[in-house]
Structure 1
Amino acid sequence: MKTRFLIWRLGVACFIAAIPACGSGGPRLNPVQGTVHYEGNPAEGATVILDPVSGSSDFKPTGVVGADGRFTVQTPPHGAGAPGGEYAVLVTWYPSNARGLGSPKNKLPAKYGDRATTPIPKITVKDGSNNLDPIQLTAK
């Protein structure tokens, strides 16, 4: 009886010890932040998308622009930041009620949301904190 209980406790201890290892398989993330303005005003509600230039495109880090024009990048489901590497920077801005609309219209010119036409310079996310140059968008 004691042997069974000991084996059971040992099994539970091994299971508990293995739990932290489950979440460690994701990419190493580095903090990335910046600002986006459209026609001189904060682009509140716009989405910044980091599209990997090479390697896996399984993860596309994104950030939503706040009222002050600032954004911080997240890589779902792994958390805050972005894996190191080179990225095309895309920006889209759909109405906050876009889910209820059939075909919501992007408030920005299409060029900002297309990897082939975006005039926003590519960035390289490096180890450590990454502060991007301000992103200034225009209607033209």
Structure 2
Amino acid sequence: MIPLLGCFVLFASLSGGCERVNRLKVYPVRGEVTVDGKPAAGARIFFHPEANLADPRALRPIAIVEADGSFRLTTYLANDGAPAGEYVVTVTWPTKAGADEEISGDRLKYAYADAKKSKLRVTVKAGNNDLEPFRLK
């Protein structure tokens, strides 16, 4: 019975680990987004790796801004952070259309939505990253 259990544990650890073999190490990233001094609750933040802007397969950590304006980035698992590197940041702030709460449009009029035009830049370093607030207009 013990050898069978040992084989199962070995198989489970190897098969579970295979998913993570190609993952880059990520570091916690926290920040804040305000628009005209008020929290941008529900805004979407994307971090585009500066070195791979054109690569559709490049990792793009994302966050949704909380009611207080704060966010925590996600790459693989909720709030796990982002790989170290230089990023171009884009922000969209969807509107809610009608009673069915369908998301549409951008309250920021797409001013921060294009990674090729965005002037928002961030460096993620190894360790905890508490970013300067993004104060948008």
TM range (shorter): 0.7 to 0.9
Q: How far apart in 2 are the matches of 1:76 and 1:65? A: 18
Q: Percent identity?
A: 31
When residues 12 and 119 of structure 1 are mapped into structure 2, their CA distance, relative to the original with a 3 A threshold, is closer
In the alignment, residue 50 of structure 2 is paired with which amino acid? Answer: V
In the alignment, residue 10 of structure 2 is paired with which amino acid? Answer: C
When residues 17 and 38 of structure 1 are mapped into structure 2, their CA distance, relative to the original with a 3 A threshold, is closer
When residues 6 and 62 of structure 1 are mapped into structure 2, their CA distance, relative to the original with a 3 A threshold, is closer
Deviations 1:65-103 (A, max 9, x none): 1111100000135861001111001100113569846xx
When residues 45 and 91 of structure 1 are mapped into structure 2, their CA distance, relative to the original with a 3 A threshold, is same
* Residue 135 (structure 2) aligns with: 136
Q: CA RMSD in A?
A: 2.6
For residues 120-135 of structure 1, the aligned pairs below 5 Å read 120=120, 122-135=121-134
In the alignment, residue 135 of structure 2 is paired with which amino acid? Answer: Q
Q: Contact conserved, 1:33 with 1:132, CA < 8 A, in 2? A: yes
Q: Which runs of 5+ in 1 are unaligned?
A: none
Instruction: Say whether 1:34 aligns with 2:31.
Output: yes
What secondary structure is seen at the aligned counterpart in 2 of 1:74? coil
Q: Contact conserved, 2:50 with 2:86, CA < 8 A, in 1? A: yes
Q: Contact conserved, 2:28 with 2:129, CA < 8 A, in 1? A: yes
Q: Contact conserved, 1:45 with 1:96, CA < 8 A, in 2? A: no
In the alignment, residue 14 of structure 2 is paired with which amino acid? Answer: A
Q: Contact conserved, 1:59 with 1:76, CA < 8 A, in 2? A: no
* Residue 88 (structure 1) aligns with: 88
What secondary structure is seen at the aligned counterpart in 2 of 1:18? helix
When residues 96 and 9 of structure 1 are mapped into structure 2, their CA distance, relative to the original with a 3 A threshold, is same
Instruction: Say whether 1:21 aligns with 2:17.
Output: yes
In the alignment, residue 123 of structure 2 is paired with which amino acid? Answer: T
User: Normalized per residue, which structure has more helix?
Assistant: 1
User: Normalized per residue, which structure has more strand?
Assistant: 2
* Residue 70 (structure 1) aligns with: 70
Deviation of 1:8 (Å) = 5.0
Q: Contact conserved, 2:88 with 2:119, CA < 8 A, in 1? A: no
